[in-house]
Amino acid sequence: MKTGKLWAAVLAASLTIMVPGAEAKDWTHVKVGIEGAFPPWNALDSKGNLTGLDIDLINDLCQRAKVECELIAGEWSAMIPSVNAGKFDLIMTLGINEKRKEVVDFTVPYASGVATFITLKDSPVSKLPMTGERLNLNDKDKADPVMKTIGGVLSGKTIGVVQSTSQEQLINAYFGKSVTVRTYKNSGERDLDLKAGRIDAGFDSGVYGTTALAKPGNEDLTMVGPLMKGAMLATEVAMGMRKGETDLKEKFDAAIKSAAADGVIKKLSEKWSKLDLTPSF
């Protein structure tokens, strides 16, 4: 009996040691997953190099955290599976929502944004209410009547969203029974279909929309409807990581708060999006 209890104790101790994140780690090298197809947050330039707000910011944050960072581009839909499989240690541009909290942990937000619709200027969808006005979906008394009106305008239409995003979740949750939802690997592919008339509108990050509309060739596009946050929308943008990596979280939480306090997040977000995306702590 004593021998059995001893082996049980040894086994239990071994299992505890093997749990990821259970022991403190001396982080010196961090692998960072970045989509590379979501400007101005991130993109690949003509030479195949990563560029954008995420890249400028993560370089600053890694210096503050005193770690060497390896940036790795990958498909968005594979980001969370990849971080949990150990291919990455961090994911950039991961909006915080309850569904994602079930499978990954988050740093504090490094940016605070909104989501809105993008459509052709002459589209019937361009008549959506509250264009350019902020709307918190958690204020249901105000938001629910607006979303009902939007649902009426969108009824029978086809809405394009990037797959595995909170924007896809919102369109399905609010309008999925009355619209056709078409998913894309990235926003650029969706916009090609929008300009070709194959879909009626896109729903995306307001920061992405502001940048996309400023590009040559997109003169016929416009952002319409309210600038939304709340509900399942992941407009508070953070870095995701495997559950239990508390040391890594502490390093980058401190780095993000320091960058915000120093005005670096304001400077970089205004450089890339013309908007101050500095989060509130």
* 15-29, 46-60, 103-117, 161-175: least confident range: 15-29
Q: Could you state, in order of their start, the residue ranges of all structural domains in the chain?
A: 26-112+235-273, 115-229
Give the residue from 134, 122, 128, 93 showing the smallest Cα distance to 194.
122
What pairs with residue 223 in β-bridges?
118
- Reported as a single tens digit per residue, the pLDDT across 17-30 is 344 444 457 899 99
| Average pLDDT taken over every residue of the chain | 91
**C-alpha distances in Å from residue 96, one per residue of 9, 12, 89:** 39, 34, 17
pLDDT digits 0-9 by tens, 179-210: 999 999 999 999 999 999 999 999 999 999 99
Predicted confidence (pLDDT) per residue in 64-107, tens digit:
999 999 999 999 999 999 999 999 999 999 999 888 999 999 99
Q: 226 and 146 in contact (C-beta within 8 Å)? A: yes
Q: Which CATH architecture has domain 115-229?
A: 3-Layer(aba) Sandwich (3.40)
pTM for the model stands at 0.70
Both structure tokens of 22: 């259970």
* Residue with tokens 């998913």, as numbered in its chain: 183
Domain pair 26-112+235-273 / 115-229, same fold: yes
Q: DSSP letters of 178-208?
A: TSEEEEESSHHHHHHHHHTTSSSEEEEEHHH
Q: State in words which class domain 26-112+235-273 has.
A: alpha beta
